[in-house]
């Protein structure tokens, strides 16, 4: 089978779908090739992601990735959320087909963008390097 049961489960019953009206940070990332877009909303309390929601206009793997990624960072310190890689998301889903790995990259980067937005809005200083990947084009992400 092309997709793991976990991918199918998170695609059919995605966790944390929606928006947060008074979000502390919002991150939106698109993939220029497929045109899919993911938006992540976070609430932050004491340096911890106290709540997270997502909207994904994209393929099933992108939906499953955002669902799993939000589950993985909910209740976790920001420092942990920043370390979440797309590989970890894909592993937690019991794998994604190679040509669908880029869908999990959207989740990693949308989370980083939301945290960066939170830092920017609150005047919190950070190392630009941490967010370096957000500045690159997503053309080569496959």
Can you tell me which of 52, 106, 110, 111 binds ligand FES, judged by CB under 6 A? 106
Distance (Å, whole) CA 104 – CA 125: 27
Q: Is residue 34 part of the contact set for ligand FES (CB under 6 A)?
A: yes
Q: Is 103 a catalytic residue?
A: yes
Helix, strand, or coil here: 17?
A: strand
Distance (Å, whole) CA 55 – CA 113: 14
In angstroms, what is the minimal distance from the CB of 99 to ligand FES?
8
Q: Is residue 17 part of the contact set for ligand FES (CB under 6 A)?
A: no
Sequence-distant (≥ 6) Cβ neighbours of residue 68 within 8 angstroms: 6, 10, 15, 89, 92, 93, 107
Window of 59-67, 112-120, 121-129, 133-141 that interacts with ligand FES by CB under 6 A: 59-67
In angstroms, what is the minimal distance from the CB of 69 to ligand FES?
13
Q: Is residue 58 part of the contact set for ligand FES (CB under 6 A)?
A: yes
In angstroms, what is the minimal distance from the CB of 64 to ligand FES?
10
Max Cα distance, the chain (Å): 47
User: Smallest Cα–Cα separation from 134: which of 22, 11, 14, 40?
Assistant: 40
Window of 7-15, 16-24, 56-64, 69-77 that interacts with ligand FES by CB under 6 A: 56-64
Whether 102 and 31 have beta carbons less than 8 Å apart is answered as yes
Which residues are catalytically annotated? 34, 103
């Amino acid at each position: 089978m092309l997709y793991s049961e976990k991918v199918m489960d998170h695609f059919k019953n995605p966790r944390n779908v929606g928006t947060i009206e008074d979000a502390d940070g919002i991150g939106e990332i698109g993939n220029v090739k497929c045109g899919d877009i993911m938006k992540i909303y976070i609430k932050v309390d004491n340096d911890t992601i106290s709540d997270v929601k997502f909207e994904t206009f994209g393929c099933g793997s992108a939906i499953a990735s955002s669902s799993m990624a939000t589950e993985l960072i909910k209740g976790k310190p920001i420092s942990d959320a920043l370390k979440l890689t797309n590989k970890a998301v894909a592993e937690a889903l019991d794998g994604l087909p190679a040509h669908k790995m880029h869908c999990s990259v959207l989740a990693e980067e949308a989370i980083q963008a939301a945290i960066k937005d939170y830092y920017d809005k609150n005047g919190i200083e950070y190392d630009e390097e941490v967010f370096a990947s957000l500045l690159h084009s997503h053309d080569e992400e496959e």
